[in-house]
Structures are given as C-alpha cells and as structure tokens.
Amino acid sequence: MWSKLPVDALSGVAGYAPLIALAVGLLVAAALLFDHWRHRGRRLRRSVTKLSAENAALRAELAQQERYAEADRQSLAEAETRLGELRERCQGLAGTAQQVEAQLALRTDSQRELERRLVQAHKMEALSRLAGGLAHEFGNLMAIITGYADLALTDPSLSARVHGDFAAVKQAAAHAAELSDQLLAIGRAHARQEAPLDLNRSITNLQEMLYHVLGAQIRMETRLDPELVSVQGDGGEVAQVLLTLALHAADAMDEGGRLLFRTANAHLEQLHACEFGTLPPGDYALLAVHHTGRIADWPRVAADLRGGASGAAAAEPSSPSRELAICREIITRAGGHIHAELEPAAGATFSVYWPTAPDLRGRPAPDVRRERRGLATVLLVETEASTADLAQEILSLEGYQVLRTADAEEALGLAAEMQGSIDVLVTALALPGWSGTELAAQLEERCLGLRTIYLADPEGAGPHAGDDLPTGATVLTHAEVAEDLAEAVRALLEPERAG
C-alpha cells in the first residue's frame, strides 16, 4: 500500500516517521498488551470456571454435610426421646421395685405373723388335746358318780334325807358332765347328734365359763323365759354358737359394757318367715344376744350373716368374721335363722330363731327300777377299773351272772370254763395286745348265740377304735355305761320286748 502513495506524499509523511514509529510501537505494544490480557482473561475465566465448579462441589458437599447434620440432629432428637422414655421407664421400674420391696416386706411380715400364729395354733392344739383328754376323763368320772347315785336311788330303804342327798349328787354330776361335753364339743369336730335341748340350761351352764372368759369389765345379764320350748339341735353346736356370739360381743366392748342373753317363744307367720329367706312359718325359740359395744366393720358382719362374698370363704381363718359365718352355717343347717340389727349409740343385737323339738310330753317316763333278769351270764372285759366296777354292779343288780376280767386271754379261759354258756360279751374296743372285735370273733366260735356290746371313747380313740366293727354292732361310750348298759343288754337278750 505504501508503494502506491505518491512520492510527494511519502516525502511529506517522512517528517512524521518518529511519530509514526511511536504510534506503531504503541499499537504493537497495545496489541501485545491486549493479547496478554486476552490470554490472562482466558486463564482467569478458566480459573473462575474451575473455582465455580469447586464452589459448586463445595456447596454440594456442604449441602450433603447439612443433610448429614440434619439426620444427626434427628437421630439425636430420637435418642433424646428414647432416653427420656428410658428415664421414665427406669423411674417406673424404680417405683415398681419400691412397691415390690414394700410388698415383699409386707409378705415377710405376714409370713412371720403366720408362722407365729402357726406356732401359737400348734400350742393351742396341744393344749386343746390335753384339755380334751382331761375333760374326757372328767366326763367318765362324772358318769361313774352319776351311775352310783342312780344305783343308790333305787334302794327303797333310803331315808328321805339320804335320798335327797343322792339326788343332789346326781344333779351336780350331771351338770359337771354337761360342762365337760360342751368343752369337748367346742374344742374338736364331732359327729352331729341332734336331740331336744333346753336352751335356757345351755346358757346357764355356759354362763359360769363366760364369767371367767369375759372379765369383770363386761356385765353379763340373762332374761330367760321359764316357759321356753325345747329346741332341736346338737348340744356342741349350740354351745359353739353361744360362745361365739359372746366372744364377738366381748371383742366389740374393749372398754367394757353390758351383754344380755334373752330367750322367748316366737311364732313366725308366713309374712315374717319370708323375710328370713327359706325359713318356714311356725314356732321357734328366740335367742337374742345384745351388747353395748361398737362394731367397726358392720357391712362385713351383715354380709357374713347373709352368706355374702365376704363371708366364710373370704374371711381369714380363726377371724371373728369367719366365726360368725360358721355360726350362720350351724344355725342354717339346724333349720334356723340368724340376723343382726345395729343400734346406733346402743350396740347391736343378734337374733337367732331355733327350730323347736318334737313335743315329748305325754310319753311315759322309763321305769328306773328293773325286774331281775335271772340266769343270763355276762362276760365283762374292761381295763378301766372304775368303769368295770360300775358295770359289774349295774349288771349284778339286774340279776345277771357277771364274769369280769381285764385280759383277753383270761376271757377266753373263762369262756372255756363256762363251756360256752355265755350269753352277752361286754368288752372294751381297745385291749392290751388285742381288739374287742378280735376277742368277740373268737368267743363267737365257742359260745353259740353270743351277743356283744362294745365300749369305746366318744371320739373312737385307741388303736382298735372301731375300724373293723361289724355292721349293726352295739357300741356304748364309757360315759353311757351308767344310763344305757342295762337297757342295751336287755335289748340283746329280749329284742321283742325291747322293741
């Protein structure tokens, strides 16, 4: 291009050569500088792009870390929640452990109390057995005294004064025997024997014992109807009911009070009888036991007498509630009824309706003076000398020939001497080395038509106490010898007349 310029033009420009050179240099420098910054900008852009990528990666990593942190926070929150639940459960377990410890301590105390009661019960059982044995022996002695008094009263040569003395002895002995029977009946289980009973007399007999049991702080009174009808029941159960009601009243009168036994004849119409459940209308003997004490658990007492859920099945053994429930069972089994009335500020009254006994009036009294029996021979085998003495005298006065021994071997020898001519064997069930049934079996082989009467204790005590008695055997207790032996022998020898 420069070559095409005119010469003049070129010559004119030549004066600007330095300036042009400077401009060209500046342009070259600017081009170089531009190229430099262009390359540097590219590098910067690459660096920025790289930094942006790194920044994005960092942001992604930061976001990931934040997500991890959020997950950790959630896990921590869940852990704290579970820790709180565990703390609550631990607190609950601690409370449960405390409750278990308290229950364990209570059960330990209860177990100790039960063990103490068991030891006391064993002691009382031993004392009861001892007292029962003494009462049994005492009853036998009273029966012997009564028997001898009966024998003396049959003597027509007695003066009126002596006759009265023997009658008083018999009455006192009978009273003592009744007390002994009541003690035996209360202290042990026995077979029920219902018979006509004088309720007034049962109260009077028990009154003497209650004076010592209740103490001086309780004043005991009686209002007994002299025209009271006889009741039908078991003497031991009647005594148990009377004693239980009296002791329940005593428990309610810690600071003393008044205890009243009242009897009266009662007639229940259909309407009143229906109020007492299944009790039929008719005549009853009413026993009312009133006391001035306070009954703390009256609803439970009422439930026990109704036979409710808190009665005998739920009550503790030997507790007052249990004893009241047993009273209700006894009275209900006898055909009677019991209910209680709470009198605010005046105590409570327990009313018992006993069924009356069949009317025995008009029946001829048995003649105590027997006609002589004549030639019958009785072999008496008894180890208790006092009982044997009484039985021998009773049978001798009846006119029987009596052979007496205390040994089974000797009894067999007497039978051999009599050549089998023995009509009745009266033997104790328990003999040294023998049983009464074994002796009777051997004698029946030697004595044709032999009849046997067995003598035993009321409980059937002893090593040979009736386990192998033949069906229909005649058995008398030692206490029944005085009253029933002669009649039992007569019934065996003359069954048609005895019937």
CA distance 348 to 254: 15
Over 60: is that where the pLDDT of 355 sits?
yes
Confidence of residue 131 (pLDDT cuts 50, 70, 90): low
Clarify whether residues 204 and 349 are in a common domain: yes
Least confident piece of the model among 63-77, 307-321, 326-340, 386-400: 307-321
Clarify whether residues 223 and 340 are in a common domain: yes
Tokens of 207: 């009154």
Q: Give the domain CATH number at 432.
A: 3.40.50.2300
Range of the domain at 305: 196-364
Neighbours of 296 (CB within 10 A): 9
Clarify whether residues 485 and 413 are in a common domain: yes
Confidence of residue 317 (pLDDT cuts 50, 70, 90): very low
Q: Give the domain CATH number at 352.
A: 3.30.565.10
Look at residue 287 in the predicted model and tell me its pLDDT: 93
pTM: 0.49
Does 467 fall in a domain? Answer: yes
Clarify whether residues 269 and 384 are in a common domain: no
Does 45 fall in a domain? Answer: no
Domain boundary among 364, 391, 407: 364
Clarify whether residues 268 and 396 are in a common domain: no
Domain boundary among 341, 364, 387: 364
Confidence of residue 257 (pLDDT cuts 50, 70, 90): confident
The better pLDDT of the pair 91, 468 is held by 91
Clarify whether residues 337 and 202 are in a common domain: yes
Instruction: Collect all residues with Cβ–Cβ distance below 8 Å to 196 and sequence separation of at least 6.
Output: 230, 231, 232, 357, 358, 360
Does 34 fall in a domain? Answer: no
Clarify whether residues 385 and 357 are in a common domain: no
Look at residue 50 in the predicted model and tell me its pLDDT: 86
Bridge partner list, 366: none
Least confident piece of the model among 236-240, 317-321, 331-335: 317-321
Clarify whether residues 360 and 384 are in a common domain: no
Look at residue 430 in the predicted model and tell me its pLDDT: 86
pLDDT, one tens digit per residue, over 390-445 is 889 889 888 899 999 988 899 898 888 888 789 999 999 888 888 889 999 999 88
The better pLDDT of the pair 29, 9 is held by 29
**8-state DSSP, 221:** E
The better pLDDT of the pair 94, 319 is held by 94
For the four alpha carbons of 53, 56, 62 and 64, in that order, the dihedral sign comes to negative
CA distance 238 to 249: 17
Clarify whether residues 359 and 402 are in a common domain: no
Residue 358: what are its φ and ψ, rounded to 5°? Answer: -60, 145
Does 52 fall in a domain? Answer: no
Over 80: is that where the pLDDT of 190 sits?
no
Clarify whether residues 435 and 299 are in a common domain: no
